[in-house]
Structure 1
């Protein structure tokens, strides 16, 4: 049976979607699944490094840490113990566009998890905690500076976006974080953590009406504040930059090319194209670069941002192979744009993505991220079966249509290399 046929899967049986917008502007959504054995809860805040002012660089990520340091009613130890008492699997992350706080527990602990996460959304931001955590963030920045692979992506984005806010660093710099004050962070929180700029998402076994009433009571003091986002125009330009870095022992190549926004339906075809080009284990770049022994690793993906999308290609190689790798990469991209993709490649990629869709529906926690982020970007709910059908319907012509604009010919190649490789 074709694994793309997911039209009547158990994943969707008995699942019901709920949504409402509270008077304070907070959007609450839930994928209620009575058969689930857990419940996942997440606050999705539509804010990240692209929403920071230059003097605030790194504040979104810093603030993420501070939400775990205490509220007016709890300190950091109490927050940690409360998660532990519930047996919660919890964490948070910050990107260029979103800050997400999430946890999963057994259904009987769902209300307690919801209360804790909601309390954390209004942190105390105590000065002593701020001063202590600033040192943690500065150490993290120093740690990542020792990881050339991470810095290659950070610096490649900065040069590709050329001043556009999507090129802002999530971590910030030692200088920007070092100069940041508690008052600046409090101002950022007041501006960006408005209920109208947040989505509370839940997935799994839960009582929707009881949950909604609990959220109303917990967030009643929250006041709506306008929190927009700037959508500066961006026009990609082809180019290349080669940068020696003393901490690099390998050559790190990052190729960025224009893609499709999170709101663009062509993003499904773009995911298939990226899989054909650089999926791990069986793709054009794998056979051209990994199988030939030219690189240690290579992958390609499609990143869907708010209003802007891009294709990523990353390769890591011995400096002695750098020029040969660049030559092969250019050859493969030119061939892809010239000849397009083949039907059998499209089917393999669709089936691989179908497997990922199935895995995404296996637990409420894995479902939560797709549910919340998709809603933040589009304001729409999409079942797993609907998503699968969109991929199933894709044709070779749909994927090849993306290549008509020759996106990879408009790409930017960034190389981070050891100093001796530059001599």
Structure 2
């Protein structure tokens, strides 16, 4: 049977584990309260940059050693950075638990070598350039910057070309020592985990973490000016774009909101890839390539996104159709049949995801880092099954009637006509 255990080490590091000895694998990872919203203008992009540097060697391991050992363990490993956290994770056979804990823990004491820093700076700059060359050409970043402002949740996860070029290894070290403190981390584990041994290993291997120096706070941002490389125009002119990419954002539920589950169901009814209202109205009819909506939940706020991709000449009419459909849903609600289908999809997805410890890891770790709360698979299933037409109607009225911020990435009308 599945059971949940938690423990706080003497240095303040929190450990949270969803344990099921019937599983054939174990997933583990460090969840760090270090994301784009925690950065200053001079630090923009450092959370993501640091994620890269964690794989570039420690005092005990070279970069080649880190990657070789991850391969030797035979599981899946990776890392990601978001607006609110950075996560380092892997899935292995239970017999490799000690080796994985040792490797992940060592990685979180990076050498931050100057030469590796300069090499990785080029990689980050290439990543930024590549991303800006691909649809929707930075429209999601721009709409977040306008809606939230270019700082906090609106700050770009990758940073900008200007911020990455201007940063240095000393700034990265200071940021690391300020954010990567044990009291700001959670070690999460799911699956076939030996919890007692895990605690003993972590207590021993992270014993010195509380001794990390605490740098002076960074210089406050000049709130009267925009960060370097940032513009707040609502239109991104893309010379060679064959289609138009329209992104809208408005208020949505946070991770703590009581109606977040009903809002997820509403988004499924409206914007799922197949069988949703927007699919039948705009995609199946050939009007648009993409027409969808979804909620994005953050710790203290949330956003409701709309995304439309179509021919530039059809953007205005399709956008109008999309908005009319959303307003009609807010006024009239959804049908019992639509609710049942969406609930079936959501519960089936929960059950199938719960079969893999690697899938459960992110839910367990993120929620424990953010709120110190545990939500089991049964809790999720009960939340979805309890949703009725009234709850969905309430969510529709709460979020579909909100005024939105819009960004369009497209070639100009003149270019299209020529």
- In the alignment, which residue of structure 2 is the partner of 1:189? 176
- In the alignment, which residue of structure 2 is the partner of 1:262? 255
**Structure 1 residue 245: Cα displacement:** 2.0
DSSP-derived class of the 1:70 partner: coil
Deviations 1:26-59 (A, max 9, x none): 1101111111001111111111111100111111
The 1:240/1:122 distance shift into structure 2, 3 A limit, reads: closer
1:295 corresponds to 2:288:
yes
State the alpha-carbon separation in 2 of the partners of residues 342 and 242 from structure 1.
37
Higher mean C-alpha deviation, range 80-89 or range 58-67? 80-89
Instruction: Give the TM-score normalised by structure 1.
Output: 0.91
Q: CA RMSD in A?
A: 2.0
- In the alignment, which residue of structure 2 is the partner of 1:235? none
The 1:142/1:422 distance shift into structure 2, 3 A limit, reads: farther
**Structure 1 residue 418: Cα displacement:** 1.4
> What pairs up with 1:179-328 in 2 under 5 angstroms?
179-223=166-210, 241-328=234-321
> What pairs up with 1:348-387 in 2 under 5 angstroms?
348-387=341-380
**Structure 1 residue 422: Cα displacement:** 9.3
Structure 2 gaps of 5+ residues are: 221-231
**Structure 1 residue 407: Cα displacement:** 4.1
Q: Among 121, 145, 151, which residue is 2:138 paired with?
A: 151
> What pairs up with 1:64-75 in 2 under 5 angstroms?
64-75=51-62
**Structure 1 residue 248: Cα displacement:** 2.6
Contact 2:304 / 2:399 at 8 angstroms: preserved in 1? no
Q: Among 74, 91, 104, which residue is 1:104 paired with?
A: 91
Contact 1:371 / 1:381 at 8 angstroms: preserved in 2? yes
State the alpha-carbon separation in 1 of the partners of residues 62 and 280 from structure 2.
53
1:20 corresponds to 2:12:
no
Aligned length: 401
1:57 corresponds to 2:40:
no
Contact 1:70 / 1:79 at 8 angstroms: preserved in 2? yes
Contact 2:190 / 2:358 at 8 angstroms: preserved in 1? yes
Deviations 1:371-396 (A, max 9, x none): 11122222111110111001101111
Q: Among 90, 99, 109, which residue is 2:77 paired with?
A: 90
State the alpha-carbon separation in 2 of the partners of residues 163 and 174 from structure 1.
15
Tell me which stretches of 4 or more aligned residues in structure 1 moved more than 4 Å.
Answer: 224-228
State the alpha-carbon separation in 1 of the partners of residues 271 and 201 from structure 2.
46
Instruction: Give the TM-score normalised by structure 2.
Output: 0.92
Structure 1 gaps of 5+ residues are: 1-13, 231-238
